[in-house]
Chain A
């Protein structure tokens, strides 16, 4: 080897690395060749349901040869199927967002308030002279207003939907719920709805087998019922959350009553879990007689049971209240920092234009037809376009046509979710309050009060008048440099006082070269970040705006106000149950394999393997094994005639599922136990045998005390690693159900990359550090009382 060849070697890697001509995906996002532009388009659904849309993109490419559209599916998380906001937030914050994305309208305000989207007003006014102008007055007002925030438009609505009551005529008629002509008569008021529910719901052996109406099955949330009862969720100025409006509490009480008739929320849940989708949809099979759902459900009926006798009626409302329904839907947005806003806008224009929409409808219809399926178009947000689509592609069948018309007629009565920067939080909180009340954890009013406080706190922060000073990062940087200079100065002074010999000086110089890389890495990836994180923990910082110094607010909020913080901490502490089990299993395995006999090394390997399986892989394996219907565990429990929990989707069982999965990896501690066992001298056992100790006596009096340093080590490591649980929950349950698996680190992650509250997340990370430090110190302090170090006694 040449004298410095290794330096050349090292240098080579750096050169390759930094220029990295063959780095995968080295072409930056939006990287374009000279005359071709790539638009990155993020969507949430690429199933055959959106074939029309997909083909429209191809057509657009064909018409505009210099444009390529790279469509990317954004993962929906876990069982809840919510689009993963973390990707967009990271993209925007990291400076590499997509060019266009399809976004659920209700969260537009939430994102716009953080500056994640580009305002589109200039584009809209410029488009008035083009051949595909976008005109506000053509859109359903509910859709347009939902896409606007503080007077600016941030998204162009594409589709909308509308909710109404679907009822099964056969079941109603069988139960004699008919009008004078003997035709099924849908309930008009809440009271009637309750009555119908009572009459239709059937039980067998104490279990629900047919339900009249399950309010939350379908797509009606407390929102709809609250509005129907005249409730408001936000004050008109948007600064006060009125989720705990007594009228909404009344509506929630109504839901509680209906669920109690069905045997309670848990019973209804268990009933729901037997439902299937599509062809075996519970409404189609008659398991549920009435549901409030949106218009796309017509497609399911048309496809799987076209001759079903069903009716559509406005959602029943409380006595004397007007008809109210609810519209939602999607829209196209251009994230801030998009590379090609102009081209993106043109594409949006095409997609929502008459021509583009008709194209999509035709393509989808012909696709559906070619597969023998009917096509029921969605309601497009543009009224003019919607009418034309229905004229050309609307359902021909009488029952579907009248049903569809009912939905259109209801559109003017529809409300939309309040546009607020706390939209996502309001949604999450209203779901939590509903669940709390339905499960009788709290009374409706209490539950609403309890969760409204969270939203209000957030709103207060957003609309706070207080001017927080901006953090001067130059100052922080200067302090850091000063610290560095000081330490260098100390070193220099030290050296001046104790001058080194020539040889030692040479050695120190060499050391500088050797340790230099680490030092550089330390400053950039460790020391600097630690300092920055400490500063950030006292700040409000969302990456998109300058950091504001808020003092101890983050810490106070966390400890005094944030319920979810305590939930996540509680969840994490719950997981500690697994640590002693894991240690015990590890020890048992170690004792078993600790003999010099043939074959034990094979067993050792088998026990150890699960510990090294990638966490993503083991999550996938356990998703399958714990599957509530087809999973091995439940099938085995079924054979034994035992209770089969819905492991990962049951609030009670989700954490035990993850513990079970972690116990599978107990082999990790086995290896360390083994090393400990090997170190126990034989003469101790011999002495114990002479004293008449049996197996248990030997274990109790020799093995355990001798292993105590290892118990100590394993315990600390176990606790620390329990605090770090993240990937399992992220992959398998995405923190659900009902926050049951929202662990501490997961909550940090959510705060940082989902809500972009980097300051708050930093504060949480520091608290985590303090907890771990505290536990470790406590352990070290307590250790001498029970840990036996062999060396000490001599």
Chain B
């Protein structure tokens, strides 16, 4: 135990226990942060990955994803395995080519890599459906069993997984009459490198594949004209469908026509390989409530084109490796911020924290001085009353307090959450009183003799002496306010004034909040300040806890 000498064996065992224990205790934090860095597929990968994937490094698109599928163990001799793979690849590639896909030689693709990834995928997906007894049979029977289950559908799925590409789909305009009108393309895409875009069908719709190579230049643009004869009403927003290529480059949309010129304020990161829709609203028009990503557009009206004709321009900007990593790791954070007004929640929380901390520091020291140092009739009784209110469960008073705030008209404002702080909290008053009692009286008496009043003595002599205790109070109050969920839940009703904990709860209950990546991102943002503060002010914190914990 404390102070005794330890044998070496004891020490080693103790350190092992410490390391093991701290791993268990901190793993949820690790998992929180790692989850907030994961993309949508990694989130549900099985088995879960302990580290977030790094973004792929690619300068051109389409490309083959280098680790779309993990290698599959075949449980065969090396030469048998090679033979087996060759046979599978021959069959699979033949099937694929027969089904009418374009020849991949055309886009200068790394063929060994393609073969490797395709094989892994096909083997993994097909083998999952072969029962063990058939798989343990001799080579020929195995091959037969495998080919029996190899079908084109599966191969095509693997093909779509392995190959990443940036696709542009339908462009639509939605009018105030609530009608979605697809815009008819006029002519082909004009690209900055002059290469024609190939069209293909995905998910039953027509898409155009954008082919860029940043080795040839540092940005890529393409544009196309669209027309609509149906469009009669006032447009509410334009939207275009995409499939991203997970390259973490950025794309910006520019739209002109119908008297508007719209340019997106921020670029969209190609940080996924899913299908997405980008919406562009007219300036001053609010987006749909359920926009995945609302991007305000800016610009003036100037339309040189004839009515009913629009031009959509896409500008792709390459990201350097550092930018890619930033894009990947900030993805969930950006999405969460776009989906919900988290900056508003954070501001509300900061506002409350500042006022609460100030209120407590001002009032508690003031009050505690009155209890600790000034003699007045009834002091002991009132101090006892103050102490006993600490025992009372808060549930006893919340209902009348709710009614009082309602009566004062403070319901659904932030006032109930900070004004009471200016009247002191029993716990802090008690803590500071103990502190005051520990200060020798001589100092004050000297001040009185010098002609200082009570207020003057308090501010100039006493306050500097209790700084450590004030720091502890500030930290406690910060934690309390930052974490408080019950107060805002009861006293506020409007999402606009929700502090972060309540905001997070509302987010969690919404549709977007079912995405654990975003949820963990916001949770991280909420947890970090607390941890940071703890590291900075650990000393005061522990001091405060032990001080109050023991003297009770």
Contact = CB atoms under 8 A, between A and B. Distances in A.
Q: What is the predominant secondary structure among interface residues of chain B facing chain A?
A: helix
Given A91-B412, A518-B429, A616-B501, 9 more contacts: A25-B413, A71-B289, A90-B493, A491-B378, A517-B423, A600-B18, A613-B531, A727-B486, A730-B489
Contact of B403 (A91, A532, A615): A532
A769 B382 CA distance: 21
Interface in A397-452: none
Interface stretch (A128-136, A339-347, A505-513, A562-570): A505-513
B399 A762 contact: yes
Contact of A521 (B348, B420, B482): B420
Interface stretch (B53-61, B160-168, B317-325, B388-396): B388-396
Contacts of A86: 489
A768 interface: yes
Contact of B413 (A23, A90, A594): A23
A378 B407 CA distance: 43
Among A56, A525, A671, the one with the most B-chain Cβ atoms within 10 Å of its Cβ is A525
A556 interface: no
B410 to A, nearest CB: 9
Contacts of A77: 509
A181 interface: no
B3 A682 contact: yes
Interface stretch (A43-51, A146-154, A249-257): A43-51
Interface in A349-375: 359-360, 362-363, 366-367, 369-370, 372
Given A23-B351, A96-B411, A366-B179, A664 B28 contact: yes
8 contacts: A9-B362, A59-B178, A76-B509, A95-B406, A96-B412, A528-B400, A606-B25, A682-B2
Nearest to A535: B400
Nearest to A666: B25
B375 interface: yes
Interface of B: 1-4, 6, 11, 14-15, 17-18, 21-22, 25-29, 31-32, 35, 43-44, 46-48, 170, 172, 174, 176-182, 203-205, 234, 236, 288-290, 344, 347-348, 351, 355, 358-359, 362-363, 366-367, 369-371, 374-379, 382, 385-386, 389, 391-393, 395-406, 409, 411-415, 418-420, 422-424, 429, 453-456, 458-460, 479, 482-483, 485-486, 489-491, 493-497, 501, 504-506, 508-511, 516, 519-520, 523, 526-527, 530-531, 534-535, 538, 542, 545-546, 549-550, 552
A73 B510 contact: yes
Interface in A626-641: 627, 630, 632, 635
A167 B277 CA distance: 36
A766 B18 contact: no
B532 to A, nearest CB: 11
A94 B490 CA distance: 10
Interface in A581-605: 589, 591-595, 597, 599-600, 603, 605
Contacts of B177: 59, 359, 362-363
B176 A517 contact: no
Contacts of B552: 713
Given A594-B1, A609-B25, A366 B180 contact: yes
Given A620-B519, A625-B31, A672-B546, A514 B1 contact: no
A515 B378 contact: no
B486 A685 contact: no
A499 B329 CA distance: 73
Contacts of B523: 617, 620-621
Q: Which 7 A-B pairs have the closest CB atoms?
A: A521-B423, A363-B178, A514-B370, A75-B509, A94-B411, A25-B497, A529-B400
B2 A677 contact: yes
Nearest to A602: B22
Contact of B497 (A24, A52, A609): A24
A58 B236 contact: yes
A65 B11 CA distance: 76
A339 to B, nearest CB: 12
Interface string A84-116: 101100110111100000000000000000000
A510 to B, nearest CB: 4
A489 interface: no
